[in-house]
Amino acid sequence: MKRAAALLLALLLLASAGCAAPKTLRQQTIFAMNTVMDLRIYASDDSLLQEMTRLLSELDHELSATDAGSALYALNQTGQAENADLAQIVSRASAISDETGGALDISLYNASLAWGFPTGEHRVPDEAELAALRRTIGLDKVAVSGDVVTLSDGVKLDFGAVAKGLAADLCREKMENAGVSGILSLGASIQTVGTKPDGSDWSIGVQDPEDPSNIKLTLRLKGSKAVVTSGDYQRFFEQDGVRYCHILDPETLAPVQSDYRSVTIVADSGFLADGLSTALYVMGFEAGVSLWRTSGGFEAVWIADDGSVSVTEGLAPLVSGAEAEVIQR
């Protein structure tokens, strides 16, 4: 009798597996982390899409520097927090900062505030104001001990340079665990996951900084990759004919002035790609190329202000739509 019941159960399980809904494209557009996010996954139902939507709004709530209810906001107000997520982000961002000669600096929120980027009330602070702010900026004033983050001298943190890459990593893990493929556009942070059901490559457009509604070039990628772009066209203001972009040079505490309009990083980790995209935009072309030559672990595309494109050699066979100078190792 027991054997008959077991056989029946096995047959039922087989039948239900055979009836599983086919994986079809499911799409969701949300607004989180100050940007429009477009999630496209190949799944048999909407449950994972809903789970990722929840995760993204939770991260938004936890990591926003402006949201008065967020964990980061509380840390910035009180100067201390015991929070494993915050501690890990600070440690990982500090490691990228070390690798990039300080170009990535999550401690410069007070300078971003002075330029009015977080509030949208843009202004140009004078030299004396920036010099005074320097006392409240610097990773040497940020300490991590276990899960406790401590800020000294009124330092405030900003995760804007890495949060969307981190979000992409966490969504990718969920999708990989569920055996689901797809493509996530979290603003300028794009994440491909797994293989498309038809086996074709993922096709990712890199925006034309001159006209962001146009695609400058296309990258064809296989498997799970993070593709993140930083540029002067994403958030900026103009005053007296000068464009001030949202990416600050930690040396001057002023918006980066560059001959390059954007840099795109392709890497396995979203966090790394996002951190490096910001850092390489600060560093400029030559320093970015030498970091690529010495450290590896990522590929890059630069678009200059004359519209010319440079790509590291690993991406050369994957680019279409634009002539590109290929940078050799």
Q: What is the contact mask toward ligand AMP in residues 94 to 113, using x (rule: CB under 6 A)?
A: ----------xxx-x---x-
| Minimum distance from residue 52 beta carbon to ligand AMP (Å) | 20
Residues 6+ apart with CB under 8 A from 113: 119, 156
Residues 6+ apart with CB under 8 A from 167: 32, 33, 55, 56, 59, 186, 189, 270
Q: Toward Mg ion, which CB reaches closer, 244 or 281? A: 281
User: Among residues 42, 49, 160, 266, which is the contact residue for ligand AMP, using CB under 6 A?
Assistant: 160
User: Among residues 277, 299, 312, 315, which is the contact residue for Mg ion, using CB under 5 A?
Assistant: 277
Near ligand AMP by CB under 6 A, which window of 144-152, 158-166, 170-178, 201-209? 158-166
Near Mg ion by CB under 5 A, which window of 24-32, 198-206, 274-282, 300-308? 274-282
Which single residue brings its beta carbon nearest to ligand AMP?
160
Q: Toward ligand AMP, which CB reaches closer, 41 or 166? A: 166
User: Among residues 191, 192, 262, 278, which is the contact residue for Mg ion, using CB under 5 A?
Assistant: 278
Query: Which residues from 206-265 bind ligand AMP, rule CB under 6 A?
Result: 230, 246-248, 250
User: Among residues 60, 62, 99, 158, which is the contact residue for ligand AMP, using CB under 6 A?
Assistant: 158
DSSP-assigned states of every residue in 263-291: EEEEES-HHHHHHHHHHHHHH-HHHHHHH
Rounded to the nearest 10°, the torsion over CA 68, 69, 70, 75 is 70
Nearest to 215 by CA among 227, 223, 204, 207: 207
Q: Toward Mg ion, which CB reaches closer, 93 or 309? A: 93
Q: How far apart are CA 68 and CA 74, in angstroms?
A: 7
> Measuring CA to CA, how many Å separate 152 from each of 60, 98, 135, 143, 265?
25, 20, 10, 8, 32
On whether the CB atoms of residues 177 and 224 are closer than 8 A, the answer is no
Q: Which residues bind ligand AMP (CB under 6 A)?
A: 104-106, 108, 112, 117, 158, 160-161, 188, 230, 246-248, 250, 274, 277-278, 282
**Contact footprint for Mg ion (CB under 5 A):** 161, 274, 277-278
